[in-house]
A and B are shown apart, each in its own frame.
Chain A
Amino acid sequence: MGMTVDETRCLGCAACAAICPEDALTLVRGTPEFSEDCTECSWCAKVCPVGAIKREG
């Protein structure tokens, strides 16, 4: 369960963090990290230009 980031694909552009409706996603040293507020709505995955975010489970 939960959102996972493929760090080899992620280029740290922050498009995901800009749109997260729950403000549950922050770039920490260039990589997205999710807080417990994440509802797995998957908008972050949807807007990712390189497909680096996935919803598991």
Chain B
Amino acid sequence: MSLSFALLVSGQPCTDQASLSALRFCKAALDSGHSVYRVFFFNDGVHCASRFITPPQDEISVPKQWQALQQEFAIDLVVCVSSALRRGIVDAKEAERYELGGHNMADGFTIGGLGQWVDACIQADRVVRFGSNTQ
């Protein structure tokens, strides 16, 4: 049976293993013939969309891995606008609106509202959250 998944990523990429677990879950689901309706980055998870994240060369770049997955499978990567603005993750449009003089959201991600997460919860067969409650 093939299922569609809605994934919520609420852990930030450097401190929390959650975003890497989400990536691996996403890959495994797609490789097994399931689909991913949407990945929604929420709370500290929005940092996964920063193209300024620059780990040492022998370490994994979470944003680049999401981008690669997005390019391969055309999955919908949506960054929660209210979580993102609070944490300084902005795309070109928001940068212009708030006159920020620069933007840092990586290609492949789009900014969206919580309504898109609610929609994903309704449409997908399964909802899975990645992010620890203990931070």
* Genuine A/B complex: no
Q: Which residues of A are interface residues toward B (Cβ below 8 A)?
A: none
Q: Which residues of B are interface residues toward A (Cβ below 8 A)?
A: none
